[in-house]
Every structure is written in structure tokens, then in C-alpha cells.
Structure 1
Amino acid sequence: MDVPVDDKVLDYEPHPLTEEGYSASAGALEELTRRAENHNQPPTSHIHGSSTSTESHKWLSKILPHGTIQSVENKFHLGNYVLDRQTGEKTWEAMSIYVRVGMHLLYYGSEQEKALHWKKTLQLLQNQSEKMGKEYDAPESKQHIVPFIQSFQLESTLYEMVEPDPNAYPTFNAFFAREIKESARPIADPENDLVTSSPADCRLTAFPTIDLATKYWIKGFGFTLERLLGSAELAAQFDGGSIVIARLAPQDYHRWHAPVSGTVRGIKDIPGAYYTVNPQAINEPGTLDVFCENKRSVMTLERSATGSPIAIVAVGAMLVGSIKYVGGVDTIGATVRRGQCLGAFYYGGSTVIVVYPPGEVALDEDLVRNSTGHKMETLMRVGWRTGVKA
């Protein structure tokens, strides 16, 4: 595993993505999704291969213009550190090769080229995401399941699943959005409804205010609560509030759960793009804000313990096929309890964002410290405590 020399991002200006670079990056992504159609190959040999491996570097060097690939390697560590909340250990997670290609697609050339480039990129990412969705909904895709389990060493987690037999799933997407036993994810302090929980098995950041989130983490231009939630009226209720960002990697359990108990007061589906939500994209100043650009669904709860509004935003990402609610929770007036499963993402990475109004939660100090002091995500599981009513 290749690990960078230090934790700091090197100070280089990104090389503009020329028309040649765009075409090469688009071709690289199409080649990766084509390779993924080979059911007999493990995903780490193509779409989920490490971007820092010698093999990946050689492959990209043959496809991408030298200036473009060198600039990205100078600008970014091709992966990121995460802190394990249970052990306190810092581990390095290499960026997958498909995310690496997605980073190239966030670049553009001149201002005149920018609008056209983004339009082409949007269409490309939508086409490839839909392609992967169809591919992994096909019966033949079940041949991917066992190689996927082996590649990401998920054998020890099979006992958690409602259906532990990989061969029982009709498609890869059915396995990807697998259901786990409720007992496998007990919630913290179940008798205390003032406690808030992690909405997912994830890499999590937590910020007491939106201003801190944009200072330390969300660096792309254009991020506002109004854009994220798709409503000025709703956003006004959270002005000055707290935010929790839960990023799901492809190997994670890919359902999200209620961080609080409450009653569903609103559901709003917002169409959008399929940009990568990798931290390198979120943390890069000057790029567009992917949270406000990507396809997402906003659920608003009235919290049982306080009567306050809570916004839960399920954000799709690069190669995500769909975002689906489960169990009828997307019905206005439905009641949900903390830790209850709300929905599932189908193939790809994704993110769940929880927004709290001012004074609604005092986020746990270790999560805030990791997010602001160390500028790192914390490995979390569904149901683990994230804070308590202030």
C-alpha cells in the first residue's frame, strides 16, 4: 500500500483539463465500466483497483495526457486518512481508480470551456452511472458478489446479514443494498431519546456550525443550506445549526438509518449530477460543491423528543444507480425511531448529511476534534452516538 510522506496537501495549482484531457478521462471511465462487465474478475482488478498502485499508474499514464496526470498526483494525495473511533488508530484508505478518474473530470480549461465541459461531464457521469445500475441489476451480475466479498474481506460480516448466503441474492445490486439484522447495529443509549446516532456505517465528520463545516471541510464554491435542502424556507430553520456528514465507501453496508426518532414531515427529491463525493473533491477550493450539485433526497423529521425539525439528506454519488426509501418511511406522517432503517443506496459511493437547528445537539467532542483539529473523518457504525441535546 502506498502512503504519502505527510498529511498535508501539496500546494500546486490544478492543471486545467483540456479537450484532449477530457476525452481521455471520459475514455478511461468508459473503459473501467466496460471492464466491470467481466463477471469473473474481482472488482479490485478494475473499477475498485487502488489508484496508487503501480499497475493503475501505468494504465493511466497510457491514457491521460502527461501534464494532467502529473498535476493531479502533485495536487492530491490519492486517498485519505481516517481515524477509527474504537481503536483510535489512523489508517490510510487509497482512492479507488474510478474515483481518481472522477477527480480529473472536475477540472476544466478556460472560462469559455467551463460550461460546455460541465455539461459534457454531467452527461458522461449520468450515462456511466445508469450503465452500472443496469449492469448490476442484471441476473448475470450475481457472479460479482463473491469476488466483491473476497476483495474487501467482508467474509467476517456475513453473519450480520438477514440473508447471510451470498448465493441467495439474485443480483449484485441486491447484495450491495443488503439488509442486516437489527441486533447487529444496536443504538447507543436506547432509553435516552435526547441522544443522536450515526446514520450509517461510514467515515463521518461533525461540525457544531455550518460555518465551521465550510471552513474545515466543504471547500467547493456554492454551498448553502438553501441549495442543499432545495428550499429557502426550510434552510432558514437551520440557520446557525450543526451538520453531520456521513460518507459511505463502496465496501460499506449501504443503507442509512434514522439519527433521531420522529415524524416524517417532508420528502423532497432533487435531481442532480453524479460527481464523486471523495474527500479530495469536497476539500478542494475552487471546484463546484458536489453536495449541492448531486442527486439527493431530503427527508424532514419533527423530532419526537423536542419537536424540532431535523433534515436528513441522502446524496448519490459517482456510479450510484438509485436512492430508495424502504418500509414506507417516505410517507408524510410516518413515524420512525432512532436506528430504524430509512433507505438504501444501490451501487457506488454515497453520503448522508444530517442537519440540526441551533441548540438541538451538542456533538461529541472527539468527532468535532477529529473533523476540525485533525481534518479527518472518523470510522463510525450505524447507531453509534454522535451527540446529545444541548
Structure 2
Amino acid sequence: MFSVSAFFHNVLNYLLSWVHPNAHWGWLSCNRKTGQLEREIIPLGKKLKLLFLFNHITEWIDTTHAMRLYIHNKSLEKGKKEASPASKEQISKFVDYYSINMDDFDPSDINEYKTFEDFFARAHKAGSRPIHRADDALTAVVVADSRVVTYESVAETKKIWIKGHDFSITNLVMDTQVGSKYENAAVASFRLSPQDYHRYHSPVTGKIKLFRSIPGDYYQVDPVALQSQVDILTRNRRAYAIIETAEFGDVLFVAIGATNVGSVVIHEQFQKGGVQVKKGDELGHFQFGGSSIIVAFQEERIKFDNDLLQLSKQRIQVSVEVGPSSGKATVRWDATNGVSFDTKKTNVMHFSRSKLRTTPPVCHGDVEKHPESALRWLDSRLSFRIHVEKWAAKAKAVAYHLRVLSDTKHGPLPGAVRNAVRGVSRASPALRFRSVVPGHDKATMKPAYQKPAIEQPASHTENEQGLEPVHESYTAPLEDDIHRPPPPGKWDTASYPGPRSAATQVSRRTQVA
């Protein structure tokens, strides 16, 4: 009998491979802990249902009013059945079929659950799912025991994973004003199967900005269904909350119901604006059935962990548990950080301040660099020439003022003393800088001036690797006028006057004398 059942499973897997391009898409997942590929346990009847409902020939049936009404009524009926005392008899068979480790849950004895619905919404035992860096607001965590895929943009999500005609964040939240903030959002999609722990947790630390519940249908959320042309996620019942954070911006958390899920519950205390939420806090739970969660981050506010991104691009879901890291915050440079430019033309990731504990690290590939005092970080496509040349010009001007003070023939003039003191107080941080070329282990120390002040600031051309040098400064934060970039069209050095020439300085001194 077992071999016959296995045969039918294999036949269905083969048939399902014709429904979408990849035969194992959605059926195989990678266990994040072990790194091993695992086949998800799916009942034979469910595979038959998926094959019938979500293929190119019959999927139009799913959009009819009759089918939607049937699914809705069936879900409500199933929910009532699982809430009855008689449903308790299903628990033992369910645990055995899916090999659920009850040691992770409280209570761990299945006899203590009064109904199957109570068992389905079971809670984790304290300490069974530790939260990654619970006090570090710069990291986001996995929100549920599930299978997850992550993509860096909504467009990439639609291209690879979700094929519904009308899927967008705007349609998901039914609000154009909210959706406009997430047009090119980074998206993490968590899919929960019936055997999973069905409580979900906050991915970040912040405060609730908005809550809304949206009625809808209860379609399947299995990969085959998501790969169909039916707009599953934007039609199913769902509830969402926006979590306002300093590190990630506004984070959108959407809990989406599915077949047999009679209710999507977000706890009452998190349905009010201004309520504080900590990373790992339980936000709510699903009732019986499969379900899905979408977490969207505003553009350029998160870098998902590399293992999640790489497997997702291969169309492989990652089997995860609540608590581990899912990504790190990145800082988007803008006027609030003292720097303004078009972020689409460069990939600046970080501009540190004196608050080292609240500043995220710089991530470039597999390299991670934590912030240090007064560092300016940039990528290879952004030239730091403007800042360097301005500081070099100031340093040369200071050097000249100091040389004037050493004039023993005519003696220092009051104006020269004043200029020297003022110049040193403003430009002393720029007297030295260090140029660090990517790929070189040791930094080369260079003086900011090597010749008399009549020399123009040295231009910083591309090095032998074709990369702009990255400059570290030992200085305090730049002055406001240095933070503020020149007006458009003023970026070339010719438009910057540079230090006053030595000839002009000598001429003024002669006139005074």
C-alpha cells in the first residue's frame, strides 16, 4: 500500500511539473539549519486539488463567484468543526503524520488541548525560539515558522514567485497612499503549512503606525497556487500593520488567510497607533489552515541575508523558524543625513555619526565593517573628490597662514594672526587624511599638502583597479557647509575658487605695510 501511495505522489509531482516550469518548485525547500533539501509533506488529496484548480485549463473556475462562495463557506464550516470538542481526536494522528516535535511547545502534552483549534494555535515553550540580537534594532528577524523567499524588489518578486495579474503592494493593502511608499519595496514572503506553528511575530522594533483588516476569500497559498494567474494574495482575507522604525523606515506586515483559515487575528493591543512593539513580540495568530505573511521594506532600507537571497533567486524556499536574522538595516543618504544626491545613480550604504551604537555596519558582498568615529563610507562609483579637495584647499590655506606667522623679517601682522587662528580652528581636521584603496591591506598615509599654497588641490584620479579611493578621516563630523553639496552644475573643480594664492597674500601684506 505504501508503494502504491508513493507511486501516486510521484505521478502527481510529474503532472504538477507541467503546471509551472520547475518540477520541484514549492515542493522542495532548503532547511536553513542543516543546509539540506527537504521535501514538504503534502497529503495526496491536497495535491489532487491543487492539480485540478490551478492549471492553465481550469484555473478560470477559481475566479467565478460560485467557487469563491464555496471556498468561503467551506472555510467557515471547517473552522467551526475544528473548534468543537470532538476535533480533539484528530490531534494525535496529525502530530504523527507530520512528525511534530511537541517538546518545543507549551503545553507539550497533546491531551491538554481541548480542541484541535487550541492545538493549532499552540504556543512555543519559553526559550525554544531565541530572538537574534533582541536588543539590536538594526537587524530584522524571521517572523514565523515557515518557508520563506526574499526579493530585493516587487518587480523581482512578480517575475520569479508571484504571478497574479494584479499583484502589487497597493492592491495588497487596498490603499494607494500606503502602497505608493512600497512601489519598489524589498519583499519577504513567508508561507505557513498546516503543520507549522501559526503564531507570528514582529520582524523589527518600532511603534504601530497603522492597522487595517480587509475581508476577502480563502484561496490556497501553496506555490502552485501563487504561480497561477489567480490573484491569491490580493483576494484573500488579510490584516496589516505598519511598524514605524528609525532604522528600517516604515515596515509593512501583512497576515494573509488561506483555505480553512477562519480568522486572521492581530492582537488587540497592536491595533492602535503609537503602541510600542519590540522585535520578536507576538503580533497575532492564524486559525486552522495554511496561511501566508508578506513583510515589505521601503526601498534601500534593508539588505536581506545572502543565503535567503541566493536560494530565492534559484526558486528554492528556505525552511526557517521564528527568531533568526533575516536582514540588516541600511541607511539611505538624503537631506536628513546631510547629504543629497540621486540614490539610483550610486550605492552609498552608510554615513556614520558619533552615535556608533545606533549606526548600522557597512555590508559589501560578504564583507561587513562596523562603524568607527567619523568615517565616510561610499562605494566605488561615488567620488569623494569634492570633499577631499575642499579640505585640502583649507589645509593649504592654513599652512600659508602659519608660514606667515614665522616671517622674522617683517614680523607677524595682526590680520595674519587672526587668519591663522581662524583657519586652524576650522580646518585643522583636514591637515591629514588617509587614502584607502579597496583590495589593499595597508593604508597609505599622505599629507594634505606637500608644496607651497600656490599649488592647486591635487585631483584624485582612478587607481589602477579603476575604482575611486575611499577616504577615512580622523576628523570630527564635517561642517554644515561641507555636508551640503554644491548646486547642480557646480561639481567640477574649476568652479571652486580654492585657497587664496600666495601672490595675493603677499600683495595685501605689502599694502598694509
Which of residues 367, 380, 387 in structure 1 aligns to 2:320? Answer: 380
Aligned to 2:292: 351
In 2: Cα distance, 1:347 partner to 1:183 partner = 25
In 1: Cα distance, 2:14 partner to 2:30 partner = 29
Aligned to 1:291: 233
Within a 5 Å distance, the mapping from 1:108-123 to structure 2 comes to 114=60, 118-123=64-69
- C-alpha deviation, 1:281, in angstroms: 1.5
Within a 5 Å distance, the mapping from 1:217-228 to structure 2 comes to 217-228=161-172
For the structure 1 residues 246 and 70, does the alpha-carbon distance in structure 2 shift closer, same or farther, using more than 3 Å as the test? closer
For the structure 1 residues 52 and 269, does the alpha-carbon distance in structure 2 shift closer, same or farther, using more than 3 Å as the test? farther
Paired letter, 2:49: V
Deviating more after overlay: 74-83 vs 238-247: 74-83
Give CA-to-partner distance per residue, 1:328-370, whole Å, 9 cap, x none.
2223222111011111111110011100001211111110110
- C-alpha deviation, 1:163, in angstroms: 1.7
Instruction: Find the residue that maps to 1:183 and give its secondary structure.
Output: coil
Structure number with higher relative contact order (C-alpha < 8 Å, ≥ 6 residues apart): 1
For the structure 1 residues 84 and 108, does the alpha-carbon distance in structure 2 shift closer, same or farther, using more than 3 Å as the test? closer
Bigger radius of gyration among the two: 2
Which of residues 222, 247, 252 in structure 2 aligns to 1:306? Answer: 247
Paired letter, 1:85: R
Paired letter, 1:321: G
Q: Root-mean-square deviation (CA), in Å?
A: 2.8
In 1: Cα distance, 2:29 partner to 2:200 partner = 20
In 2: Cα distance, 1:51 partner to 1:135 partner = 31
Aligned to 2:78: 132
In 1: Cα distance, 2:306 partner to 2:278 partner = 25
Aligned to 2:270: 329
Structure 1: stretches of 5+ with no match in the other structure: 3-49, 61-68
Aligned to 2:124: 180
Aligned to 1:87: 34
In 1: Cα distance, 2:4 partner to 2:268 partner = 38
Work out whether residues 267 and 283 of structure 2, in 8 Å CA contact, stay in contact via their aligned partners in 1: yes
Paired letter, 1:298: Y
Work out whether residues 146 and 193 of structure 2, in 8 Å CA contact, stay in contact via their aligned partners in 1: yes
Instruction: Find the residue that maps to 2:190 and give its secondary structure.
Output: strand
Aligned to 1:159: 103
Work out whether residues 129 and 318 of structure 1, in 8 Å CA contact, stay in contact via their aligned partners in 2: yes
State yes or no: 1:260 paired with 2:198.
Answer: no
In 2: Cα distance, 1:195 partner to 1:321 partner = 33
Aligned to 2:49: 101
Work out whether residues 262 and 337 of structure 1, in 8 Å CA contact, stay in contact via their aligned partners in 2: yes
Paired letter, 1:185: R
- C-alpha deviation, 1:311, in angstroms: 0.7
Give CA-to-partner distance per residue, 1:63-86, whole Å, 9 cap, x none.
xxxxxx996574354861101111
In 1: Cα distance, 2:70 partner to 2:6 partner = 26
Work out whether residues 200 and 285 of structure 2, in 8 Å CA contact, stay in contact via their aligned partners in 1: yes
Aligned to 1:339: 280
Work out whether residues 50 and 224 of structure 2, in 8 Å CA contact, stay in contact via their aligned partners in 1: no
Work out whether residues 103 and 281 of structure 1, in 8 Å CA contact, stay in contact via their aligned partners in 2: no
Work out whether residues 52 and 95 of structure 1, in 8 Å CA contact, stay in contact via their aligned partners in 2: no
Instruction: Find the residue that maps to 2:132 and give its secondary structure.
Output: coil
In 2: Cα distance, 1:243 partner to 1:73 partner = 26
Instruction: Find the residue that maps to 1:288 and give its secondary structure.
Output: coil
Aligned to 1:389: 329
For the structure 1 residues 75 and 239, does the alpha-carbon distance in structure 2 shift closer, same or farther, using more than 3 Å as the test? closer
Work out whether residues 263 and 333 of structure 1, in 8 Å CA contact, stay in contact via their aligned partners in 2: yes
For the structure 1 residues 306 and 51, does the alpha-carbon distance in structure 2 shift closer, same or farther, using more than 3 Å as the test? farther
For the structure 1 residues 126 and 94, does the alpha-carbon distance in structure 2 shift closer, same or farther, using more than 3 Å as the test? same
- C-alpha deviation, 1:282, in angstroms: 1.2
Which of residues 203, 224, 239 in structure 2 aligns to 1:280? Answer: 224
In 2: Cα distance, 1:74 partner to 1:311 partner = 34
Work out whether residues 245 and 353 of structure 1, in 8 Å CA contact, stay in contact via their aligned partners in 2: yes
Structure 2: stretches of 5+ with no match in the other structure: 331-513
For the structure 1 residues 268 and 55, does the alpha-carbon distance in structure 2 shift closer, same or farther, using more than 3 Å as the test? same
- C-alpha deviation, 1:120, in angstroms: 1.3
Aligned to 1:233: 177
TM-score by length of 2: 0.59
Instruction: Find the residue that maps to 2:72 and give its secondary structure.
Output: helix
Aligned to 1:145: 91
- C-alpha deviation, 1:102, in angstroms: 4.1
- C-alpha deviation, 1:168, in angstroms: 1.3
Paired letter, 1:375: R
Paired letter, 1:292: T
Work out whether residues 53 and 62 of structure 2, in 8 Å CA contact, stay in contact via their aligned partners in 1: no
TM-score by length of 1: 0.77
In 1: Cα distance, 2:125 partner to 2:219 partner = 31
Instruction: Find the residue that maps to 2:27 and give its secondary structure.
Output: strand
Work out whether residues 61 and 67 of structure 2, in 8 Å CA contact, stay in contact via their aligned partners in 1: no
For the structure 1 residues 207 and 127, does the alpha-carbon distance in structure 2 shift closer, same or farther, using more than 3 Å as the test? same
In 1: Cα distance, 2:204 partner to 2:19 partner = 39
Deviating more after overlay: 216-225 vs 200-209: 216-225
In 2: Cα distance, 1:51 partner to 1:207 partner = 39
